[in-house]
């Protein structure tokens, strides 16, 4: 069943696989072309508080709802290989949370709290009052803030690559990644190359993982939209100070639903330990699954394993809550 769903996911992304043209340094992505490639059906745009949010809903209408939040630099296509696994049994909702992907600019600024606020407005417009919430990387911060600020909607949570402390500032970065960072800061400060994004993926995953071209393209095309780099920088700048406050612990304290931590040991971006993470959720029944050979992008590295475990957790949680 999972293998068939994975094939369906690969076929679904085959349509936008054609590149938009040769790479030209410092040339920003054309927004219309990016939409034509990455916002094919069932993608649509829903306006919430002045922001056009790129959203996809897949799976049977009326089925239990699962919301997927992507991490930093990427977008909803981070879940392309897992969504079909879940959509067999669930109504799967994923969207580009601000400031990422094809979601439009926000005149009110960029922060975790604002992303959670827009998510609340989006869920209301879509008519989803109860749902499981799955998130990774900085998307996990948005998920935790949403659950804290807008209580009563989340029925279960699953988090991976969850930054409960500021991400590591001392992790070893590969020489090629360091060279690309230096080169692009000097020559193209508001633009990044395919080689740069490919190396980001390779630098944070095991040597056995080779990113597919469409994965790199999905990041390149969105993150090189006009103003994208500045918007993402504004979000990160607003997010960093939160790690020095008690907010994240208050967010963790607010989790009172079944929680799955999918711990990817190969990842070195997250600074806190597995044991520390498990102990940060005093009011939740925590399930813990460890993946010694998965890194920062487990949903791309091994979607069958990662997505299969996620689906089984959601199935268990749904049965217990019935």
Q: Tell me the domain boundaries of the chain.
A: 2-321
What's the pLDDT band for 63 if we cut at 50, 70, 90? very high
**Nearest in space to 173 (alpha carbons), one of 145, 189, 196:** 196
- Looking at residue 15, its pLDDT comes to 42
Angle at 39 between CA 191 and CA 160, to 5 degrees: 75
- Looking at residue 14, its pLDDT comes to 44
CATH number of 2-321: 3.40.50.1820
End-to-end CA distance of the chain: 24
- Looking at residue 11, its pLDDT comes to 46
Segment 125-150 mean pLDDT: 98
Q: CB under 8 Å to 185, separation ≥6 — which residues?
A: none
pLDDT more than 70, % of the chain: 94
pLDDT in tens, 233-280: 999 999 999 999 999 999 999 999 999 999 999 999 998 999 999 999
More confident residue, 12 or 294: 294
**Nearest in space to 43 (alpha carbons), one of 4, 2, 81, 96:** 96
pLDDT in tens, 32-42: 999 999 999 99
pLDDT more than 90, % of the chain: 90
Segment 211-227 mean pLDDT: 98
Q: What is the pTM of this model?
A: 0.94
Q: What is the rounded distance in angstroms from the CA atom of residue 223 to the CA atom of residue 193?
A: 10
**Residue 8 pLDDT > 60:** no
User: Average per-residue pLDDT in the chain?
Assistant: 94
- Looking at residue 19, its pLDDT comes to 62
Please list, residue by residue across 164-197, b when 16 or more beta carbons sit within 10 angstroms of its beta carbon and e when fewer do.
Answer: bebbeeeeeeeeebeebeeebeeebeebbbbebb
- Looking at residue 278, its pLDDT comes to 92
Segment 98-111 mean pLDDT: 98
**Residue 7 pLDDT > 90:** no
- Looking at residue 21, its pLDDT comes to 74
What's the pLDDT band for 2 if we cut at 50, 70, 90? low
Q: CB under 8 Å to 74, separation ≥6 — which residues?
A: 100, 101, 218, 219, 297
pLDDT in tens, 267-309: 999 989 999 999 999 999 999 999 999 999 999 999 999 999 9
Q: Strands of the chain (E only): list them.
A: 44-48, 51-58, 65-69, 91-95, 131-136, 154-160, 259-264, 286-291
Segment 118-146 mean pLDDT: 98
- Looking at residue 9, its pLDDT comes to 52
Q: What is the rounded distance in angstroms from the CA atom of residue 77 to the CA atom of residue 79?
A: 5
Q: What is the rounded distance in angstroms from the CA atom of residue 301 to the CA atom of residue 308?
A: 13
Segment 147-151 mean pLDDT: 98
Residue 252 vs residues 30, 129, 136, 231: alpha-carbon distances, Å: 40, 21, 15, 27
């Amino acid at each position: 069943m999972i293998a068939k769903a994975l094939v369906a996911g690969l076929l679904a992304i085959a349509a936008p696989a054609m590149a938009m043209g040769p790479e030209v340094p410092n040339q920003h992505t054309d927004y219309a072309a990016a939409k034509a490639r990455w916002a094919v059906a069932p993608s649509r745009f829903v306006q919430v508080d002045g922001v056009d949010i790129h959203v996809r809903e897949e799976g049977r209408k009326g089925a239990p709802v699962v919301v997927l939040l992507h991490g930093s630099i990427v977008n909803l296509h981070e879940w392309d290989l897992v969504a079909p696994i879940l959509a067999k049994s669930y109504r799967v909702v994923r969207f580009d949370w601000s400031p990422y992907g094809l979601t439009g600019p926000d005149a009110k600024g960029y922060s975790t709290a604002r992303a959670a606020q827009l998510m609340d407005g989006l869920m209301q417009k879509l008519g989803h009052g109860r749902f499981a919430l799955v998130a990774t990387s900085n998307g996990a911060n948005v998920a935790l803030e949403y659950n804290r600020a807008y209580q009563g909607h989340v029925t279960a949570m699953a988090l991976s690559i969850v930054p409960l402390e500021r991400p590591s500032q001392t992790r070893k970065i590969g020489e090629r990644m360091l060279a690309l960072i230096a080169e692009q800061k000097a020559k193209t400060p508001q633009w990044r190359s395919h080689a740069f994004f490919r190396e980001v993926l390779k630098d944070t995953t095991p040597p056995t993982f080779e990113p597919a071209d469409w994965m790199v393209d999905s990041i390149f095309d969105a993150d090189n939209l006009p103003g994208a780099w500045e918007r993402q920088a504004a979000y990160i700048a607003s997010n960093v100070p939160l790690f020095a406050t008690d907010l994240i612990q208050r967010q963790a304290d607010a989790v009172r639903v079944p929680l799955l931590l999918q711990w990817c040991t190969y990842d070195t971006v997250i600074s806190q330990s597995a044991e520390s993470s498990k102990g940060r959720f005093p009011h939740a029944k925590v399930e813990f699954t460890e993946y010694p050979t998965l890194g920062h992008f487990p949903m791309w590295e091994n979607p069958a394993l990662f997505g299969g475990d996620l689906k089984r957790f959601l199935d268990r949680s749904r049965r217990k809550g019935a």
